[in-house]
């Protein structure tokens, strides 16, 4: 059996993200070094994702090019839904192990739309779509029934199951 996992906003190699604060002034990410941050997410990923599983990374994989190499260490068949920080050439993402790259990914049988940035509510109105997205980090949308944020801050820095 193959599982399908989702995760967003890993920001591998983004040293400055460790200085970002939540609205209440606490650190956005509870790590003391970027190396510890990256290694914790690699360990969490490989603990739940098996080699035969599929993982949709919903954008903002890395900040700097040299951190792309981390993707090679991650289990599963990786697919990327590009985010606003995924600025490198498509071939660079493929070279490190992403098998497919999308702007948006739609699962019509399951009513899921995967994107990096949350879609406008009118995009979800035609049927009972659930928009699985990233980009918001620790923030939440009011209509959580139609939106599911999988930024790492919401999912304990570990891919979360979308479908079995």
DSSP notation for the chain: ---EEEEB---BT-GGGGG-B-TTSSBSS--SSHHHHHHHHHHHHHHH--TT-EEEE-S--BSSGGGGGGGGGS-SEEEEE--TT--S-HHHHHHTTEEEEES-EEETTTTEEE-SSPPPHHHHTTTT-EEEE-S-TT---S-TTTEEE-BGGGTTTS-EEEE-
For residue 126, the model assigns a pLDDT of 79
Q: What is the CATH number of the domain that holds 12?
A: 3.60.21.10
CA distance 164 to 148: 17
Q: Of how many residues is the chain composed?
A: 164
- The range of the structural domain enclosing residue 95 comes to 4-163
Domain count of the chain?
1
Q: pLDDT digits over 37-54, tens only?
A: 999 999 999 999 999 999
With 80 as the cut, is the pLDDT of residue 77 above it? yes
Biggest CA-to-CA distance, the chain: 45
Q: Which residue has the higher pLDDT, 121 or 144?
A: 121
Q: What is the pLDDT of residues 81-137, one digit of tens each?
A: 999 999 999 999 999 999 999 999 999 999 999 999 999 888 888 788 999 999 999
């Amino acid at each position: 059996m193959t599982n399908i996992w989702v995760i967003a906003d890993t920001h591998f190699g983004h040293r400055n993200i460790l200085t970002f604060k939540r609205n209440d002034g606490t650190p956005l990410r509870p790590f003391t070094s970027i190396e510890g941050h990256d290694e914790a997410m690699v360990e969490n990923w490989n603990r739940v994702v098996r080699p035969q599983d599929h993982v949709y990374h919903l954008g903002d994989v890395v900040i700097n090019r040299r951190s792309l190499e981390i993707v090679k260490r991650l289990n599963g068949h990786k697919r990327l839904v590009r985010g606003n920080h995924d600025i490198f050439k498509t071939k660079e993402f493929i070279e490190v192990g992403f098998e497919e790259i999308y702007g948006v990914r739609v699962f019509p049988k399951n009513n899921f739309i995967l994107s990096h940035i949350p879609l406008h509510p009118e995009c979800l109105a035609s049927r009972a779509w659930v928009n699985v997205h990233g980009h918001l980090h620790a923030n939440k949308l009011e209509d959580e029934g139609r939106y599911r944020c999988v930024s790492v801050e919401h999912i304990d820095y570990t891919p979360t199951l979308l479908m079995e």
